[in-house]
Amino acid sequence: MARPSVAFESSGGCWVAERQSVGFSGATDLGPVEFLITREALEEMLDPDLEGVDGDYALEIFSEFEADIHRIALREFVKRLGGEPPILLTASDIAMP
């Protein structure tokens, strides 16, 4: 079986206030890759009607859905052929194709 192009470790992420996102990273054969998932995307994962999540709550949501977020990040990394870091995951990326 082929190895994934990006490997993730559970980290809990970190709140990036200026981007209103949770930052996390993955490892590739060429080095680390930075990702951001927006507050809105996290709200969408938990409850589409949820709005105004703060940084602490965003980190809780990230921790709860971290495995799913890593799968989405891998899918988007492959779809975008890497791209310029950080790779931004938004609410539209959360919807399964």
Note the pLDDT of residue 84.
72
Write down the pLDDT at residue 1: 47
Q: Which phi and psi angles does 21 have, rounded to 5°?
A: -145, 165
- pLDDT band per the 50, 70, 90 thresholds, residue 64: very high
Residue 50: how many CB atoms within 10 A of its CB?
A: 15
Per DSSP, 29 falls in state T
Per-residue pLDDT at 4: 62
Mean pLDDT computed over 20-27:
95
What proportion of the chain, given as a percentage, has pLDDT over 90?
A: 55
pTM across the whole model: 0.87
- What pLDDT is stored for residue 83 in this prediction? 66
